[in-house]
A and B are shown apart, each in its own frame.
Chain A
């Protein structure tokens, strides 16, 4: 199977989606589309020029252009909105969480809003407090939104396909620090269904449930710990709404030791919810307290030294796994 970089797989997915369905419109800043400020953004230009009527550059009006996308979805299109930095979603929050998320439910199942919101979340380096958010836990508090967190080249393309075909509003959250990761991506047009976790690495000693960039970080730690005789199993939910809890619990039952790694802040974060569910469903299966490695509960500081300290770093992940394995 061929190998692609994450950003290449993502762009390939977008191109195929745009080519396959005229109802898909991509609302983004043309210069940066989908790839933030990464140097690879130049590759987006070719897509923009291939679909000039359907790659749209709106004014810097997140509230309105997200609402425009939702309204367009209600009226027959399938828009993908690139908010670029996840923190910008707060400018559009009322439309995403109070209009899109509620539309199907409060209309009693009459009105579909098949729209995708794309966000780049997390600590990207020097983002400071206003460009480093991981809003997936806040969004998880808004029933009606599907939430996708890819971590590999194959997943980003396959999940994007499913997101674009979803009849429910979907928040597609990935991470700029994933862009360079390489991995195998099938040539054929393979969508990955929502709600199917993937065991990214098998191991008998400790289960690590990780999302997004934390999957890659946990895999790196797992390789190192294997040399010390700790066999780590890394479970990637890939989507948290819907959540494949069975696969997570299957691994928990096997190892009895759990570490949850996620980039949200600690309080009421994605890890908090996963830990609660695991404790409710499998307390009797646990051989050690569940641990979580998350972003410390402070605004994100600018200085690299401080940012590293508050982040769920490889050092903190390794420490938590060692503690769980004891």
Chain B
């Protein structure tokens, strides 16, 4: 384990990052309950297990940078400070949702936070983020674009086509590929070429187009911060696109497409995972990035267990109130379906 002081992280950054990771975790755990209680229909994807990627990575960005994400967007929005109540309202199809209930879980957009367009097509945003980078470069705004994709997105033709253009035109874009398939049931098995992707490691793909690419452990928040802040700096200096592949271990709760919560995350769980059912216990012990971060903060003396438990309780309370806000929000009037077709 790297000593925290080597990461040059302030205590405030550590605590705030921990708070956001816990917020994401509880958001998703509560969301699973909301679906199991029948409060919203349809397929959805949770960010559990990837919190230590999204939170530190997005903390490296400027407030006006452009961010494009996918069906697995909840953690990204929350990491940027989106209101969980309005996110829940969107996912529940309510009037107070960020998209007025027209987008749902796959399409949460929050333009004021840089999330212009969230696509449910795995590779759909790759050209879009590349284009936002083109606009930033053309307008000389100093902004960069970040494209948050999963490993499956690289299987679509939009990926190599966009990499080629971004590299040729030296566009200020970061492709952050969250490979959540390590040892899991996902499409890319992590340790080797997968049944759906001949290129391995995935960084080989952007490298063909001369885009610098590296891998980082996506469960290690400090490592993610170091790598992302370094490449964001290079992009801002005009060095062109960059690619990062993060590895996380798929949360076993989402092995089926309809997740269940085996145990509600708590600070205590970081030291004693016995509350988790046996088939999930190893993941919480060895692969849970939030619990690992909690242990790291406490072991480094940046905060006590009691202090983190207090932060956790606040996150639980915030999420509880957010869910109540969404459940109290009315459904849109039917005529609302006919608006916003054209700008």
B28-57 interface mask toward A, CB cutoff 8 Å, 1 = contact, 0 = none?
A: 000000000000000000000000000000
Q: In the complex, which of the residues B132, B136, B145, B164 has the most CB atoms of chain A within 10 Å of its own CB atom?
A: B132
Question: A67–B128 contact, CB under 8 A?
Answer: yes
Identify which of residues 53-76 in chain A touch chain B, using a CB-to-CB cut-off of 8 Å.
53-54, 58-59, 61, 63-76
Question: B145–A59 contact, CB under 8 A?
Answer: no
Question: A77–B138 contact, CB under 8 A?
Answer: yes
Closest chain-B Cβ to A55's Cβ sits at a distance in Å of 12
Beta-carbon nearest neighbor of A60 in chain B? B161
In the assembly, what is the distance between CA of A58 and CA of B166, in Å? 11
Question: A68–B165 contact, CB under 8 A?
Answer: yes
Please, which residues of chain A bring their CB within 8 A of the CB of B157? Answer: 63
Question: A68–B130 contact, CB under 8 A?
Answer: yes
Binds A, one of B94-102, B265-273, B315-323: B94-102
Identify which of residues 94-124 in chain A touch chain B, using a CB-to-CB cut-off of 8 Å.
94-95, 98-99, 103-114
A141-185 interface mask toward B, CB cutoff 8 Å, 1 = contact, 0 = none?
A: 001101000000000000000000001100000000000000000
In the assembly, what is the distance between CA of A77 and CA of B339, in Å? 24
Beta-carbon nearest neighbor of A194 in chain B? B342
Please, which residues of chain A bring their CB within 8 A of the CB of B161? Answer: 59, 61, 63-65
Question: A71–B342 contact, CB under 8 A?
Answer: no
Question: A106–B107 contact, CB under 8 A?
Answer: yes
Please, which residues of chain A bring their CB within 8 A of the CB of B212? Answer: none
Check: B158 CB closer than 8 A to any chain A CB.
yes
Please, which residues of chain B bring their CB within 8 A of the CB of A94? Answer: 121, 124, 158
Check: B66 CB closer than 8 A to any chain A CB.
yes
Check: B117 CB closer than 8 A to any chain A CB.
yes
Beta-carbon nearest neighbor of A170 in chain B? B342
Check: A25 CB closer than 8 A to any chain B CB.
yes
In the assembly, what is the distance between CA of A98 and CA of B123, in Å? 12
In the assembly, what is the distance between CA of A115 and CA of B31, in Å? 36
Which of B100, B107, B165, B342 contacts A64, CB < 8 Å?
B165
Question: B342–A61 contact, CB under 8 A?
Answer: no
Question: A74–B132 contact, CB under 8 A?
Answer: yes
Closest chain-A Cβ to B66's Cβ sits at a distance in Å of 6
Closest chain-A Cβ to B82's Cβ sits at a distance in Å of 13
In the assembly, what is the distance between CA of A52 and CA of B30, in Å? 53
Question: A70–B158 contact, CB under 8 A?
Answer: no
Please, which residues of chain B bring their CB within 8 A of the CB of A71? Answer: 66, 68, 117, 127-135, 145
Check: B109 CB closer than 8 A to any chain A CB.
yes
Closest chain-A Cβ to B46's Cβ sits at a distance in Å of 20
Question: A61–B164 contact, CB under 8 A?
Answer: yes
Question: A108–B127 contact, CB under 8 A?
Answer: no
Check: B193 CB closer than 8 A to any chain A CB.
no
Beta-carbon nearest neighbor of B147 in chain A? A71
Closest chain-A Cβ to B63's Cβ sits at a distance in Å of 15
Which of A69, A79, A108, A143 contacts B99, CB < 8 Å?
A108
Please, which residues of chain A bring their CB within 8 A of the CB of B168? Answer: 59
Question: B165–A146 contact, CB under 8 A?
Answer: no
Contact A109 B100, CB 8 Å, known A68-B162, A77-B139: yes
Question: B99–A106 contact, CB under 8 A?
Answer: yes
Identify which of residues 77-134 in chain B touch chain A, using a CB-to-CB cut-off of 8 Å.
97-103, 107, 109-111, 116-117, 119, 121, 124, 126-134
Check: B278 CB closer than 8 A to any chain A CB.
no
Contact A107 B135, CB 8 Å, known A64-B161, A143-B341: no
Check: B191 CB closer than 8 A to any chain A CB.
no
In the assembly, what is the distance between CA of A103 and CA of B111, in Å? 12
Q: In the complex, which of the residues B100, B135, B158, B342 has the most CB atoms of chain A within 10 Å of its own CB atom?
A: B342
Q: List 6 tightest A-B contacts by C-beta distance, closest first.
A: A67-B127, A71-B131, A64-B161, A108-B99, A71-B128, A75-B135
Q: Given A63-B161, A64-B126, list of 8 further CB < 8 A pairs?
A: A65-B165, A74-B66, A95-B158, A108-B97, A108-B109, A109-B340, A110-B98, A112-B343
